[in-house]
Amino acid sequence: MATTLTKAEDRAADTASHAARLRHVSKSFATPAGRQLVLDDISLDVAPGEFVTLLGASGCGKSTLLNLVAGLDKPSAGAIDTPGGRPALMFQEHALFPWLTAGRNIELALRLRGVERSARRPEAERLLELVRLGGAYGKRVHELSGGMRQRVALARALAQDSELLLMDEPFAALDAITRDVLHDELTRIWRETSVSVLFVTHNVREAVRLAQRVVLLSSRPGRIAREWTVDIEQPRRIEDADVAELSVEITEELRGEIRRHGRH
């Protein structure tokens, strides 16, 4: 993990053709009923700076796949390569540490990355500005609203300065208005930072609203069923007609995948 400290500046010189490369990745778990295959032969590339959403119904192994890419778990077969070092990971729950202020949460990420003490505070404040929470440095987690917590969590993930940002349904627990605003924010920040994003969701419109490429996973076991390239200009809105149009098409496909499971 020597590449963990890769700086954003070095990335331009980095000639890696991908931020993440998965080759024939499978994962199975031991259960009382024998080994259960959760992910089957997943091959997927995320290009540098690309925004990819992984879409699927329950049981498609979305979160398992993210855990594998994040290095929290090992695949049963196949290979995963993330040349930019340890990816940053954002969860559905904010996962901020309640014993630290918002600013200190970000500084902890910087410290663990090896940033020297004097540089931490200005960097944390810059990242808070980036998520438009300039005044929240000294705020405790419980003093922030749900949307603000997820923005601090995003800032903390960005503090890892990783080339790849993994997001595990990060907005699923938010109200619709806040989620809509955070979609706009994420799109803006993604375009400003040129970070690559692999975003997991079960919300078709969210997937189309955000991504350049939508990857549909089938369930039990999770396999790549289909892919769409989203050619709609950013910034988009979730209520845009072309977002809706593609969402309808993808939803049909997703429903087809789900129906297969009722047939035997």
Partner 1 sequence: MAGTETKAVTKTAKTPRPAKGDDLAGLEAGLDALDAVQVTRTPVREVLLRKVLPPVVAVALVLAVWQLLVSAQVTDAYKLPPPAAVWDSLRKMWLEGTLLEVLWTSVSRALLGFLMALAIGTPLGLLVARVRVVRAAIGPILSGLQSLPSVAWVPPAVLWLGLNDSMMFAVILLGAVPSIANGLVAGIDQVPPLFLRAGRTLGATGLRGARFVIMPAALPGYLAGLKQGWAFSWRSLMAAEIIASSPDLGLGLGQLLENGRNNIDMPGIFLAIILILVVGVAIDLLIFSPLERAVLRSRGLLVKS
The phi, psi pair for 168, rounded to 5°, reads: -105, 90
At 250 the three-state DSSP class reads helix
Residue 253 token pair: 């496909």
Work out which of 44, 88, 130, 215 binds partner 1, going by CB under 8 A. Answer: 88
Of residues 149 through 168, those in contact with partner 1 by CB under 8 A are 156, 160
Work out which of 74, 117, 142, 264 binds partner 1, going by CB under 8 A. Answer: 142
220 vs 36: CA distance, rounded Å: 9
182 vs 210: CA distance, rounded Å: 11
Read off the amino acid at residue 112.
L
Of residues 203 through 232, those in contact with partner 1 by CB under 8 A are none
Q: Is 240 near partner 1 (CB under 8 A)?
A: yes
The neighbouring-strand residues paired with 42 are 25
Q: Is 97 near partner 1 (CB under 8 A)?
A: yes
Residue 110 neighbours by CB under 8 Å, 6+ apart: 119, 120, 123, 124, 159
- The string over 49-60, giving b where at least 16 C-beta atoms fall within 10 Å of a residue's C-beta and e elsewhere, is bbbbbbbbbeeb
CB of 101 to partner 1, least distance (A): 9
Decide: 93 and 149 in contact? Cβ < 8 Å.
Answer: no
CB of 208 to partner 1, least distance (A): 14
Scanning 34-42, 44-52, 133-141, 203-211 for contacts with partner 1 by CB under 8 A, the matching segment is 133-141
Work out which of 98, 248, 252, 256 binds partner 1, going by CB under 8 A. Answer: 98
Q: Is 181 near partner 1 (CB under 8 A)?
A: yes
CB of 148 to partner 1, least distance (A): 6
Work out which of 89, 127, 198, 246 binds partner 1, going by CB under 8 A. Answer: 89
The neighbouring-strand residues paired with 78 are none
CA atoms within 13 A on the CB side of 138: 0
Residue 22 token pair: 């998965």
Scanning 15-23, 173-181, 206-214, 216-224 for contacts with partner 1 by CB under 8 A, the matching segment is 173-181
List the x/- string, 27-66, binding to partner 1 by CB under 8 A.
----------------------------------------
86 vs 167: CA distance, rounded Å: 14
Scanning 35-43, 84-92, 209-217, 222-230 for contacts with partner 1 by CB under 8 A, the matching segment is 84-92
- Residues at the interface with partner 1 (CB under 8 A): 4, 70, 72, 86-89, 91, 93, 95, 97-100, 108-109, 112-113, 132-133, 140-148, 156, 160, 177-178, 181, 184-185, 188, 235, 237, 239-242
